[in-house]
Amino acid sequence: FVAELNSENNLGYLSLSSIGLVIPIHKAQFQSSSSFNNPSNTEFYADLYADLSHTPFIASERTTHYSRTFQDSTFVRVPVHRDIFIEKSAEDKAREAANFIFSLRKRRFELISGDADFIAEGSAVKEVFDEILRLEQEYLSLFTGKHFVKQQVHEVDFLPVKQDNGGTILFRFSRTKGVLSASDLSGSPVLIEVSSDSNWKNIGILNSLSLEIDKQKRDAFYYRMPVPAKVKISDSKGELYSKIASLYQFGPLVRIPSDFYMQNENLFFDFK
């Protein structure tokens, strides 16, 4: 912009933002920031399933081998026993977990029916049943899984373009990776569409402002006037969000006299 002011001029209702837009002072300043930080899920999944097994995952197995030994002018077969340690298979672990669940239910039934070896009294009754229920739910989750929710907040910068047709990929989303950048093809695109009509041309204030700037003047203040535009965000399934917003990029370039005066106001520049 160009403005040559003297000491008597005061353009107190305008401010300059960090991206070069001259906007009314009562409007909020535009602050840009972006974040696509998807933290690793290693720590998040670490404590989902605690080790509650009451038996080791390694089992001992005895095998028998036969060796031939020469005795009394003949060969005889002598059995040789050997103990080896093997890791239990997934089927064996699942069978043990299922049997433990039924043993918990059996123990709870014995406590209810009075057939248990001991009888809890007072507040100990509730503690015993709560612990049995907790263990049962933990072991059942090995078969049914666990449901959990993790929330993340992402901020995305977008500069609207007047010639934008068909929308722009704002970011991509993956059900396994979360929010991704627009260039990452592993996720489905989320589009943003910005459109504006010509209804703003009928605004009465434009009649008192000069829209013809072919002949540039140095005694005027040039800036863009915001106009209403429809912003729509959608994905492959349909529309997610829509709003009517005031956008400077779609508005006309106007000018006002540099000697425009507002009492008790100051012009300031914010470069944050």
Q: What confidence tens digit (pLDDT) does each residue in 193-247 have?
A: 888 877 666 666 565 555 554 555 556 666 777 778 888 999 888 888 898 888 8
Residue 102: per-residue pLDDT: 92
Taking CA atoms, 64 is separated from 68, 81, 87, 139, 211, in Å, by: 13, 5, 19, 36, 100
Residue 63 in domain: no
Contact by Cβ (8 Å): 3, 221: yes
Q: Where a domain ends, among 132, 151, 170? A: 151
Q: Which two tokens stand for residue 31?
A: 């602050």
* 73, part of any domain: no
Q: Answer whether residue 225 is part of any domain.
A: yes
Chain CA centroid to CA 9, Å: 50
- In a domain, residue 209? The reply is yes
User: 159 and 107 share a domain?
Assistant: no
pLDDT > 90: percent of the chain: 5
Helix (H) / strand (E) element for 159: namely: none
Q: How confident is the model at residue 165 (pLDDT cuts 50, 70, 90)?
A: low
**Three-state secondary structure call for residue 126:** helix
- For residue 23, being part of any structural domain is answered with yes
- Strand duo 268-269 + 227-235: pairing: unpaired
- Residue 184 located in a structural domain: yes
Q: Does 44 score more than 60 pLDDT?
A: no
CB atoms within 10 A of CB 248: 20
Q: Structural domain of residue 129, as residue ranges? A: 90-151
Q: Count the domains in the chain.
A: 2
35-54 average pLDDT score: 60
pLDDT band at 27 (very low <50, low <70, confident <90, very high): very low
Residue 69 lies in a domain: no
pLDDT at residue 218, rounded to an integer: 59
pLDDT confidence bin for 65, thresholds 50/70/90: confident
Helix (H) or strand (E) holding 14: strand 14-16
Which of these ranges, 124-133, 215-224, 243-252, has the smallest mean pLDDT? 215-224
pLDDT > 60? residue 28: no
Whether residues 125 and 201 share a domain: the answer is no
Last residue of a domain, one of 118, 133, 151: 151
Is there a domain that residue 220 lies in? yes
Q: How far apart are CA 235 and CA 24, in angstroms?
A: 34
Encoding tokens for residue 140?
């059942």
Distance of CA 91 to CAs 48, 94, 105, Å?
Answer: 21, 5, 21
Lowest mean pLDDT among 12-16, 132-136, 198-202, 244-248: 12-16
Contact residues for 248 (Cβ-Cβ < 8 A; gap 6+): 21, 23, 224, 225, 226
Q: Which amino acid is at 152?
A: Q
140 and 159 both lie in a single domain? no
Domain boundary among the residues 151, 182, 200 is at 151
Cα separation values, 125 from 61, 110, 121, Å: 41, 13, 6
CA angle 50, 51, 52 (to 5 degrees): 105
Assess whether 126 and 190 both reside in one domain. no
Q: Are 104 and 175 found together in one domain?
A: no
What is the distance between the alpha carbons of residues 23 and 17, in angstroms, rounded to a whole number? 8
pTM: 0.47
- Segment 252-258 shows an average pLDDT of 67
Give 57 or 185, the one with higher predicted confidence: 185
